[in-house]
Amino acid sequence: MASTDKHIQRLSFSHSTGQSSPVDVVRLSELRARNMDHSMYDPTRLSFHLVQFVVAGEGAHRVDFERVALVPGDVLHVRPEQVHSFLADVEHEALMLFFTPVALKQAHIPHPARWQANTVLHPAANDFTILTELLRLQEVLDTEATDLRPGTIGPHLLGTILASLADVAAARQGSRDLTTQRYEALVLEFEDLLDAHYASSRTQAWYASKLGATPRTLARACRVVRDSSPKQMIDLRVVLEAKRWLATTTKTAEAIGYELGFSEPTNFVKFFRRIVGSPPDAFRRAQSDPTD
């Protein structure tokens, strides 16, 4: 089900067959052919996870203003609340894995920060074949008459798929000691907290307190996992939301600044220029005349 939020579509999870299962697999070609109450090509904010497994053709996907090129064998994850859109000028085929945050918790994935990295994964060919076979098993559970319950099996099958993606990511990243694994989990929690409170709190100490960590530990974790500081991550999260508003609404920079917790418009403009390198109006103009 879709609704409009600041001119960004907001889409909640709805199983393609009407089942109560929190996990769904749909082919991209089927999505394109559907008569939906929203446009898959307009900016959309999801309340659930989307993982795209490209099985044929070269294509692309837009995630938070970046066009991500895709080739067969690629795996792209879009997190809840990210702004994404499919592109009308590409025709690749993919298996789309949708699942709710509740299903993710039920799946008990080891090292979740690994597969949720902000990069495209490209598993080895035999690994990708196994992953797509697992996805097709989920398709069969959803469409075949059986005494097996997809709502019960789905989270366990999801756990197998995501744990496998974590293995793929770990193989690319190298081994992680226990301290690094704890840092990864802490940073993932920090990013989730940022998504909920970026407009109301921009201090490292506040987030560290909510996470049950010291500011020093949080800073060390962010440096190890994201090669960044908590302040930089907070600032970039605020700027990202500002970009979303600028690209999809006609609100003034002053109004957007107030929405994001800035008491003075000039402070927001200076903040945006410092992080982005150009003022808000220049970013908006660039988005209205895209080059791809």
Give the residue carrying structure tokens 């894995």: 97
| Phi and psi angles of residue 54, each rounded to the nearest 5 degrees, phi first | -80, 120
User: pLDDT at position 145, please?
Assistant: 64
Crossing angle of helices 215-226/230-248, nearest 10°?
70
Q: Is the pLDDT of residue 58 over 80?
A: yes
User: If we measure between CA atoms, which residue out of 110, 50, 114 comes closest to residue 80?
Assistant: 50
Contact in structure between 104 and 49 (CB atoms under 8 Å): yes
The CA-atom distances, in angstroms, between 162 and each of 49, 54, 119, 169, 178 are 12, 16, 15, 10, 20
Q: Which CATH class is domain 2-173?
A: mainly beta
Q: Looking at domain 178-288, does it have CATH number 3.30.1390.10?
A: no
Strand partners, 8: 5
Q: What is the pLDDT of residues 224-243, one digit of tens each?
A: 989 999 999 999 999 999 99
User: pLDDT at position 161, please?
Assistant: 92
Question: Between β-strands 59-63 and 23-27, what pairing exists: parallel, antiparallel or unpaired?
Answer: unpaired
Q: Where are the domains of the chain?
A: 2-173, 178-288
- Compare 219 and 172 and report the one with higher pLDDT: 219
Q: Confidence band (pLDDT; 50, 70, 90) for 2?
A: low
